[in-house]
Amino acid sequence: MIAWSIVRKETMGFLKNLFGGSPAQHEKHYYVYQVKCNRCGEIIEGRVDMDNDLSWNDEGDGYLVRKTLIGGNLCFQQIEVEMTFSSQRELIEKTITGGKFVE
């Protein structure tokens, strides 16, 4: 639950910056993934809001997403996730520190 509240805060902050607080009025698309904490082994689910979480990368040919996940097991390991999507919003690359992706 702790992880979720952090992800939500992050998403809402981004939304606010982008749209001045007004939510988008159409169907949502999410990329859902799971990570396993390196320290305690907890499985944490995260998701990318494909409409709001994507930022253009430095080259301008795709999107970059960065997330920090923290589990609910009081181990306080921060798991940093970075994902690259193509301009067609297909996942190209993902990297993680502090945990592993669960396929």
**Which parts of this chain interact with Zn ion (CB under 5 A)?**
37, 39-40, 42, 71, 75, 77
Instruction: State residue 14 phi and psi, 5-degree precision.
Output: -65, -45
Name the residue nearer to Zn ion (CB basis): 37 or 48. 37
**Nearest residue to Zn ion on Cβ basis:** 37
For the CB of residue 83, give the shortest distance to Zn ion in the complex, in Å. 20
Judged by beta carbon, residue 4 or residue 14, the one nearer Zn ion is 4
Q: How far is CA 19 from the centre of its chain?
A: 19
Q: How far is the CB of 54 from Zn ion (least distance, A)?
A: 27
Q: Is 87 helix (H, G, I), strand (E, B) or coil?
A: coil
Closer by beta carbon to Zn ion, 13 or else 41: 41
Question: Do 72 and 2 touch, CB atoms closer than 8 A?
Answer: yes
Which is closer to Zn ion, CB of 79 or CB of 83? Answer: 79
Q: Shortest gap between Cβ of 49 and Zn ion (angstroms)?
A: 24
SS (H, E, C) 39-80: CCCCEEEEEEECCCCCEECCCCCEEEEEEEEECCCCCCCEEE
